[in-house]
Amino acid sequence: MPRTLHEVVFVDGVRTPFGRAGDKGIYAQTRADDLVIACIRELVRRNPSLPPERIGEVAVAATTQIGDQGLTLGRMAALLSGLPSTVPGYSIDRMCAGAMTAVTTSAGSIAMGAADVVVAGGVEHMGRHPMGEGVDPNPRIVSERLVDESALVMGKTAENLHDRYPSLTKERCDAFAVGSQRKLSEAYAAGKVQPDLVPVAVRSVEKGWGLATADEPPRPGVTMADLASLSTPFRPHGRVTAGNAAGLNDGATACLLASEEAATELGLPVKMRLVTYSFVGVEPEVMGYGPVPAAEKALAQAGLRIEDIGLFELNEAFAVQVLAFLEHFGIADDDPRVNPWGGAIATGHPLASSGVRLMTQLAAHFAEHPEVRYGMTAMCIGIGMGGAVVWENPHHADYRSSTNTNTDTNTDHHHQQQQEQQR
C-alpha cells in the first residue's frame, strides 16, 4: 500500500551558553545530562501549546557516551526533563554531526508517520569527557594501512587539508578567524544571539553559585597580530592554531521538529522546512573536505544549485575546512551569506551539540531575510565524513507553492541539469 510522506518542519531550537572545557570552565561542576535537560525544559516552556505527551521521541547525541553522557541519554534526559514516561528516547553518535544526525534521523520518523513531534539535540562535556576517552581503536585500521595515523587526530587532518589546498594559507585562515570573532561580537551587541540561549545555574569552587548567560569561548577584539604569534601544535611550522580552530568546549542544544500537519494543528511556529539532507564519506586523512561532496549530493537530491542557497551555516571546526568549502564552490572568504553571526571558532564547538546550533541560527536568519528561499547547514565529521542539510524559508513568497509541488519542480530541475550536462 502506498504511504504518504509528511513534510518535516523545524519548530524551535535552543542551546545553553557554550563554555570552555577544563577545571576553570563555567560547567566544570555541572553534569552533562543536566545541560541537555535544561534545553528540553526550555523548549517545552517556550511552546505551551504543545502537550508534552505528543512528543513521540527524544533523540540526544553525544560523541563520548560514557558517565553522565551514557545510559541511553535520550531516554534518561526525557524522564529527567519531566516528560511523561510514555515518551521514548535514544542516543546517537556521529561525532561532530551528532545533533545533525539526531535531527535527520528523527525527521525520518516524522516523514513516515511514526511520530508527530520530536525533540532532537546533542551535548558534549569535553572537560569531563575528553574526545576519545575510553575508546580502543582497532589497531588494524593503522597497521593494515586503511588510514594514515594522522586520520585519528583532527588537528592533523586539518594540516593535511592545508597540504591539499596550498592557496589556503595560514594568513587566510587567521583572517577568517578574526572575522568570525568580529561577527559574533556584533551579533551579541545587537541582541541577536541571546533569545535562544538557556541560562544555566552553575557552581564553581572559587565563586560558588552563579548563572551562565553568555558564551565563554569568544575572544572579541582579537587581531591578526595576536593570531600570528600562536603555536602550531599539530605540526612544526604548521598552519593550524588555537586561534583559527574551534576550541574544547562544553554545551548542549535541542530543537523541536514536527510534521507540518501537527504544527498547524497545535499552533506551533514553522521556522524552516527540511528539504533534503546527505551524509558522505571521504578520506579520513582530510575529513575537513567532507562538507563539499555532502553539499553536492544534497543539492542534486533537491534539484538545486549552489547559487540557489542564500544563507549558509557552516561549522567552523577549523578555518581551513570552511575555506576549502568556499573555494570549491567559488564563494568569497568574507561572503555575507556565510555564518552571519560568526561560527564555532568564536562560539565554541561542543562536538555532538553543534548541528542544532547551526539550524537554530539559520532559522533566525530566515526570519530576517524573507527574500532568501533556501539555506544550508553543513559540517565536517571525524573519521572522514561530511553532512549537509538543505532548508526552505517559510517566510519566502514562494514557500507555500513549493510545499505543494516541490517534488515535481525539483525533479524537473534535476532533469534539466542532466540535459544541460549531456549537451
C-alpha–C-alpha distance, residues 126 and 353, integer Å: 11
Distances (CA, A) of 154 to 95, 163, 284, 357: 11, 14, 9, 21
The three cell numbers of residue 214 are 553568555
Radius of gyration over alpha carbons of the chain, in Å?
21
Q: How buried is residue 396: exposed, middle or buried, by Cβ count under 10 Å (0-12/13-18/19+)?
A: middle
Q: Which residues contact 237 (CB under 8 A, 6 or more apart)?
A: none
Q: Give the three-state DSSP class for 34.
A: helix
Q: Are 48 and 56 in contact (CB under 8 A)?
A: no
**Catalytic machinery residues:** 96, 349, 380
- How do beta strands 385-392 and 272-281 pair? antiparallel
C-alpha–C-alpha distance, residues 301 and 68, integer Å: 38
Backbone angles phi, psi at 150, to 5 degrees: -65, -20
Give the CA angle between residues 97, 172, 221 to the nearest 5°: 85
Closest CA to 123 of 287, 352, 338, 404: 352
Q: Give the three-state DSSP class for 307.
A: helix
Give the CA angle between residues 175, 97, 221 to the nearest 5°: 25
Closest CA to 124 of 155, 154, 94: 94
The three cell numbers of residue 336 are 555575507
Backbone angles phi, psi at 97, to 5 degrees: -95, 25
DSSP string, 82-134: T--TT--EEEE--GGGHHHHHHHHHHHHHHTTS-SEEEEEEEEETTTS-TTTT
Q: Which residues contact 133 (CB under 8 A, 6 or more apart)?
A: 64, 66
For residue 293, the tally of other CB atoms under 10 A from its CB is 18
